[in-house]
Amino acid sequence: MTKRMVIMLVAVGVLFGGIFGYQAFTAMMMKKYMSAGGMPPVTVTAVKAAYAMWQPQLKAVGSLRAVRGVDMSSEIEGLVQGVLFKSGDYTEAGRLLVQLKADADIAQLESLKAASDLAQMTYDRSGKLLETQAISQAEMDARAAELKAAKAAVAQQEAMIRKKFIRAPFAGRLGISMVNPGQYVNQGEKIVTLQALDPLFVDFSLPQQELSRVAVGQTVKITTDTFPGRAFSGTVSAVNSKVDDQTRNIHVEAAIRNPDEGLLPGMYVSVEVLSGAEQRLLTLPRTAVTFNPYGETVFIVETKGKGADGKPALSARQAFVNVGPARGDQVALTAGIKEGDLVVTSGQLKLRSGSPVIVDNQVQPLNDAAPVPSDQ
C-alpha cells in the first residue's frame, strides 16, 4: 500500500467520523430534550405591546397645480414688434408683455374714425332737416343706421388693435420667453407661461371607501424629494361631486401655502390628510403579525415554570388578532393581545403553539413609524 493511499484512507476516515459524530451528538441532544418532555427551543426576537398616540391619516400621491396658471398665446397672427419682459420676471396684472406690429391697423382705425365722424355730422344735419320736413323719416332712419355701422366698425378695429398688445391677465411668475422681436407668430402660438405660485393646488385621488373620512377644511401636509425633511401645510379646498366610474376613486383638491415659491406646478408630491382626532392604539412591528387565509395571528411569549438551569422556561402561544391601521413599519391591533404582552417579532416560521423559545433581541426588526429609505 502506497503512502498516498494511506493518506486518502485517513482523510476519508476523518470525514465519516465527523459526520457520524455530529449525528450522534444531535441524536443525544434530541434525546435529552425529548426526555425533558419538550422540543429544542427556538431563538426569536420579541417586543412588548405598548400603546401609542396615532393621528389618523389618508395617504396619496398628488400633483401640484397653480391656482391660476396659463400658457399665454396670441389671439391673432402678426409680427412681434417688442418683447417687454424678461424670462422669470414677476408681473403685475395688466402689464404689457408683447406687442405685435399694428401700424397698418392703427391707420385703418383713423380712417374708420373719420368715416364715423362724417356719419355723425350727416345724422345731426338730417335731424335738423327732418324738423322742417325737408327729408322723410325713412331717410332719417337710414342716416341713423349708417352712424351705428360706422361706430361698430371703429369698435371692431379697436378690439383688433388691443389683441396686438398682449397683457398679463393676472399677477404671477413668468416662465421662459418663446418669442423674439421680428418673429412672426401664428394664432394660438405659445408666447410664455404665467403661473400664480402662492398658493398652489394639489390634486390627488382617494378610494371611494375613504370618502367619509375626508372633508373640506381638513389639514393636509405634503412632502417632496426636492426638499427632504420639509413639509408644506394646507387645507382641503374641494371634494369632487362624483366618483370616477373607471377607478372608483374620488378626486380631492387642497390649497397649499407656498410663500417662498419653492414648489412649482407640475411637481408630484406625497400627500397626507389628517383625518380626525388622535387615537390611542396598541402597536407592534408589522413583522409580528402572520397573515393567513383563516385570519391574522401572533405568537405571545409566556413563562412556563423553570428550566433545568433554574431560569424561567419560555414558550410561545399562538393567538388570533384583529389588525387595525398601519403606518411605516408599525401596525395597530384592536383585539387579541393586551398591553405588556411579549410578542414574537421574528422567527415565527419555526414555531407552533407551545414551542419553547429563547428571546434574543440583539438584532431587532424595523419598528419606525415614518421610515425613510436609505441610499444604497
pLDDT in tens, 316-340: 888 898 888 887 778 888 888 888 8
Report the range of poorest mean pLDDT among 92-101, 120-129, 239-248, 356-365.
356-365
Record the cell numbers describing residue 35, joined without a space.
426526555
**pLDDT for residue 26 is more than 60:** no
Q: Is residue 163 a contact partner of residue 86, using CB atoms and an 8 Å limit? A: no
User: Taking 80 as the threshold, does the pLDDT of residue 371 lie above it?
Assistant: no
Set of cell numbers at residue 288: 409580528
For residues 328 and 293, what is the distance between their CA atoms, to the nearest angstrom? 23
Comparison of pLDDT for 305 and 340, the residue scoring more: 340
Q: Give the burial class of 220: count Cβ atoms within 10 A of its Cβ; 0-12 exposed, 13-18 middle, 19 or more buried.
A: buried
Residue range 58-89, pLDDT digits in tens: 889 999 999 999 999 999 999 999 999 999 99
The predicted pLDDT at position 220 comes to: 93
- In this prediction, residue 2 carries a pLDDT of 65
Residue 191 has pLDDT above 80, yes or no: yes
**Whether the predicted pLDDT of 374 surpasses 80:** no
pLDDT confidence bin for 350, thresholds 50/70/90:
confident
Quickly state the pLDDT bin for 242 (edges 50, 70, 90). Answer: very high
CB distance 79 to 101 below 8 Å: yes
Confidence label for 55 from pLDDT (cuts 50, 70 and 90) = confident
Cβ contacts of 138 within 8 Å, gap of 6 or more: none
**What pLDDT score does 34 carry?**
45
Nearest Cα residue to 358 out of 299, 315, 318: 315
Task: Tell me the C-alpha distance between 172 and 193, whole Å.
Answer: 10
pLDDT value at 155 more than 90: yes
Q: What is the 3-class SS of the chain, one letter each residue? A: CCHHHHHHHHHHHHHHHHHHHHHHHHHHHHHHHHHCCCCCCEEEEEEECEEEEECCEEEEEEEEEEEEEEEEECCCCEEEEEECCCCCCEECCCCEEEEECCHHHHHHHHHHHHHHHHHHHHHHHHHHHHHCCCCCHHHHHHHHHHHHHHHHHHHHHHHHHHCCEEECCCCEEECCCCCCCCCEECCCCEEEEEEEEEEEEEEEEEEHHHHHHCCCCCEEEEECCCCCCCCEEEEEEEEEEEECCCCCEEEEEEEECCCCCCCCCCCEEEEEEECCCCEEEEEEEHHHCEEECCEEEEEEEEEEEECCCCCEEEEEEEEEEEEEEEECCEEEEEECCCCCCEEEEECHHHCCCCCEEEECCCCCCCCCCCCCCCCC
pLDDT at 32 over 60: no
Residue 36 has pLDDT above 50, yes or no: no
The average confidence (pLDDT) of the chain is: 84
pLDDT at 180 over 70: yes
pLDDT tier at 14, thresholds 50, 70, 90: low
Q: What are the cell numbers at 73?
A: 398665446
Q: What per-residue confidence (pLDDT) applies to 16?
A: 57
pLDDT bucket at 243, cuts 50 / 70 / 90: very high
| Domains of the chain with bracketed CATH | 39-52+278-370 (2.40.420.20), 59-67+192-274 (2.40.30.170), 73-100+164-181 (no CATH), 102-163 (1.10.287)
Residues whose CB is less than 8 angstroms from the CB of residue 299 and which lie 6 or more positions away in sequence, other chains included: 44, 316, 317, 318, 319, 343, 344, 348, 351, 353
Confidence of residue 376 (pLDDT cuts 50, 70, 90): very low
pLDDT at 291: 85
- Which triple of cell numbers denotes residue 113? 374714425
The mean pLDDT of 255-280, rounded to a whole number, is 89
Cell readout for 54 is: 396615532
- Confidence check: pLDDT of 24 > 60: no
Please state which of the ranges 27-36, 211-220, 272-281 shows the lowest mean pLDDT: 27-36
- Which pLDDT score is estimated for 20? 57
Q: Give the pLDDT band of residue 204 (cuts 50, 70, 90).
A: very high
Longest dimension (CA), the chain: 156
Q: Are 328 and 371 in contact (CB under 8 A)?
A: yes
pLDDT at residue 12, as a whole number: 60
